Structure 1
Amino acid sequence: MKHLLPLAAAAALATAAATPASAATPIAGRYLTEDGAGVIVVGPCGNTVCGRLATILKSEPGAAKTDVNNADPALRTRPILGMPILSGFTDAGSDWRGRIYDPRNGKTYKSIVSRNADGSLKVKGCIAFFCQTQTWRPAK
């Protein structure tokens, strides 16, 4: 019986260490991309959070309407509108971590997203430790 208490305490500490101490501020909503080209709707996707291109506001003349730059030939015919841009985001305590897809070059990057005090999203796309940051404003 003496050994059960230390084991139970160790198990409780291990569980606590695996769980973030605090939850990240929710990021669900509609956001205008920094360049004003589209509106991304962010919300739950199963056990994770994702974001889809809900509205195209600006496109270059003659721009493809499908994902022609995707490295996977099987995905090159999928429409840009409705495409998942953010995927697999999970609560990392102070922010959300997942992947971001750029249909302009067909590449996917590690991403870190957090909500700013003004309700905008700070969206980072990273290759190794080099990151590019954008601010997405709430869409009306």
Structure 2
Amino acid sequence: MTFVRLALCAAAPLLFAAPAQAAPASITGNWKTDDGKSIIQFYKCGTSMCGKISKFLVPEPAGGARDTENPNKAKRNQRLLGLRIFWNLKASGTKFKGNGYSPEDGRNFNAQVWREGNKLKVKGCVVVFCRTATFTKA
């Protein structure tokens, strides 16, 4: 009887241990935005992941699309093509969490990015207001 108790005590931590979290699926590559207007390229940058606008799928205005909604007036003339809009995305459980920027309204947001099969889910939150978009492989 003592041996059974000893064996149960030894095995208890294994039975009640939290399951190990798998690393999130890779988000590296080119993804078409849910509105179909652009391609976002996710890539490794240092120890995290970043994302930039790599291509427009709609015609740009003459001289190229600019970051006209940027709250920093000095940056309103920068081109959107090539602009980094996701940064500091670090693996956290099954998602990447970090920062994002929306050139459509000039807002920074807390970003979560994760794979669901051949789709990429992108969740952005400003304070308590969140929106999730679904990108497709480009």
TM-score normalized by structure 2? 0.78
Corresponding residue number in structure 2 for 1:48? 48
**CA distance change for structure 1 residues 132 and 44 in 2, over 3 Å: closer, same or farther?**
same
Cα pair 1:40 1:52 within 8 Å, conserved: yes
After superposition, the C-alpha distances for 1:47-106 in whole angstroms (9 at most, x for unaligned) are: 210111010112586897211111112221211100112111000021000112111111
Corresponding residue number in structure 2 for 1:111? 111
2 CA distance for matches of 1:83 and 1:60?
14
Seq. identity, %: 33
Where 1:26 maps in the other structure, the secondary structure is: coil
Q: Is the aligned partner of 1:137 residue 2:125?
A: no
Cα pair 1:37 1:59 within 8 Å, conserved: no
Corresponding residue number in structure 2 for 1:70? 70
Task: Number of aligned residue pairs: give it.
Answer: 119
Cα pair 2:111 2:124 within 8 Å, conserved: yes
Corresponding residue number in structure 1 for 2:89? 89
User: Which runs of at least 4 in structure 1 moved beyond 4 Å after TM superposition?
Assistant: 59-64
Give unmatched runs, 5+ long, in structure 1. Answer: 1-19
Q: CA RMSD in A?
A: 2.0
Corresponding residue number in structure 2 for 1:124? 123
TM-score normalized by structure 1? 0.77
Cα pair 2:25 2:114 within 8 Å, conserved: yes
**CA distance change for structure 1 residues 38 and 67 in 2, over 3 Å: closer, same or farther?**
same
1 CA distance for matches of 2:121 and 2:137?
11
Highest CA radius of gyration, 1 or 2?
Answer: 2
Corresponding residue number in structure 2 for 1:27? 27
The alpha carbon displacement at 1:120 in A equals 1.1
**CA distance change for structure 1 residues 83 and 135 in 2, over 3 Å: closer, same or farther?**
same
Where 1:67 maps in the other structure, the secondary structure is: coil
1 CA distance for matches of 2:63 and 2:129?
29
Cα pair 2:108 2:126 within 8 Å, conserved: no
Give unmatched runs, 5+ long, in structure 2. Answer: 1-19
Where 1:90 maps in the other structure, the secondary structure is: strand
